[in-house]
């Protein structure tokens, strides 16, 4: 299984005050995803909305920033990744965005809700 994560959707799945330190929340999620990738052996790609900054992925984690600004920027990039993938059935997209979920399912990927995935990270 390969994981494709809607980063801000996972961050926003619980009210931790992340909005006061958005870059810090992104770093924390990248670290959590690194532990998940190590534990599971599955490769992870996370896509964040917002301005790019220096954020390296942990081993097994690729960090991407949306290619443009504005509404649905990361969602459009995630959908494009799935649509261009040679084996989308091997992709699990993590999002609670209904429109994105429909788009990626239509392209052959599976979908897991952000809250459910967050619980996996916390386990």
pLDDT of residue 1: 93
pLDDT of residue 31: 95
Structural contact between residues 39 and 58, judged by C-beta atoms closer than 8 angstroms: no
pLDDT confidence band for 16 (50 / 70 / 90): confident
Q: Angle, to 10 degrees, between the axis of helix 114-122 and the axis of helix 22-40?
A: 70
* pLDDT tens digits along 75-118: 999 999 999 999 999 999 999 999 999 999 999 999 999 999 99
Residue for token pair 């509404």? 71
* pLDDT tens digits along 21-58: 999 999 999 999 999 999 999 999 999 998 888 998 88
- Cα-atom radius of gyration of the chain, to the nearest Å? 13
- Please state, in angstroms and as integers, the Cα–Cα distance from residue 115 to each residue in 21, 44, 84, following that order: 20, 17, 26
Helices and strands counted in the chain (H then E): 5, 5
Domain formed by 2-122, architecture: 3-Layer(aba) Sandwich (3.40)
Q: Is 52 exposed, middle or buried (0-12, 13-18, 19+ CB in 10 A)?
A: exposed
pTM of the model: 0.93
Dihedral, CA of residue 76, residue 79, residue 81 and residue 82, to nearest 10: 180
Residue for token pair 């809250």? 115
Helix (H) or strand (E) holding 44: strand 44-48
State how far the Cα of 10 lies from the Cα of 29, in Å rounded to an integer: 8
């Amino acid at each position: 299984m390969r994981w494709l994560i809607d980063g801000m959707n996972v961050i926003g799945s619980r009210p931790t005050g992340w909005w006061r330190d958005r870059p810090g929340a992104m770093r924390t999620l990248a670290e959590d995803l690194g532990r998940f990738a190590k534990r599971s052996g599955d490769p992870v790609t996370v896509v964040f909305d917002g301005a790019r900054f220096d954020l390296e992925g942990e081993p097994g984690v690729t960090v991407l920033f949306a290619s443009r600004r504005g509404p649905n920027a990361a969602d459009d990039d995630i959908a494009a990744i799935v649509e261009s993938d040679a084996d989308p059935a091997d992709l699990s997209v993590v999002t609670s965005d209904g429109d994105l979920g429909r788009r990626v399912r239509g392209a052959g990927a599976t979908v897991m809700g952000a809250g459910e995935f967050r619980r996996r990270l916390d386990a």
